[in-house]
Amino acid sequence: MNFSANLGFLFTELTLPEAIRAAKTAGFAAVECHFPYDVPPADVKAALDETGLPMLGLNTRPGDTASGDFGLAALPSRRDEARQAIEQAVAYGAAIGARNVHVMAGKIGVAGEATFHENLAFACDLAAGHDIGILIEPINQRDAPGYHLSRVEQAADVIAAVGKPNLRMMFDCYHTQIMQGDLTRRIERHLPLVGHIQIAAVPDRGEPNEGEVNFPALLNSIRALGYTAPIGAEYRPRSGNTHDGLGWLTAYRP
**Segment 208-230, tens digit of pLDDT:** 999 999 999 999 999 999 999 99
Q: Which of 137, 188, 207, 212 is catalytic?
A: 137
Query: CA geometry: angle at 82 spanning 77 and 85, to 5°?
Result: 155
Report d(CA 208, CA 201) in Å as an integer: 5
Report d(CA 174, CA 157) in Å as an integer: 21
More confident residue, 248 or 109: 248
Torsion angle of C-alpha atoms 55, 59, 64, 65, degrees rounded to 10: -80
pLDDT band at 145 (very low <50, low <70, confident <90, very high): very high
More confident residue, 238 or 254: 238
Burial of 7 per CB tally in 10 Å (0-12, 13-18, 19+): buried
**Segment 60-83, tens digit of pLDDT:** 999 999 999 999 999 999 999 999
pLDDT band at 171 (very low <50, low <70, confident <90, very high): very high
pLDDT over 80 (residue 146): yes
pLDDT cut 90: percent of the chain above it: 94
Q: Which CATH number applies to 3-252?
A: 3.20.20.150
Q: What pLDDT is stored for residue 59 in this prediction?
A: 98
- 18 catalytic per annotation: no
pLDDT band at 187 (very low <50, low <70, confident <90, very high): very high
pLDDT over 90 (residue 199): yes
**41-51 and 16-26 helices cross at what angle (nearest 10)?**
20
Q: What pLDDT is stored for residue 254 in this prediction?
A: 61
Arithmetic mean of pLDDT over the chain: 96
Q: Which of 32, 113, 207, 234 is catalytic?
A: 234
CB 152 within 8 Å of CB 138: yes
Concatenated DSSP letters for 84-144? Answer: HHHHHHHHHHHHHT-SEEE--B-B--GGGHHHHHHHHHHHHHHHHTTT-EEEE----TTTS
Q: What pLDDT is stored for residue 1 in this prediction?
A: 87
- 234 catalytic per annotation: yes
pLDDT band at 109 (very low <50, low <70, confident <90, very high): low
Mean pLDDT value of segment 86-94? 98
Mean pLDDT value of segment 179-207? 97
Q: What pLDDT is stored for residue 64 in this prediction?
A: 92
pLDDT over 90 (residue 110): no
Report d(CA 244, CA 234) in Å as an integer: 16
Mean pLDDT value of segment 82-91? 98
Q: Shortest CA distance to 119 belongs to which of 99, 102, 141, 132?
A: 102
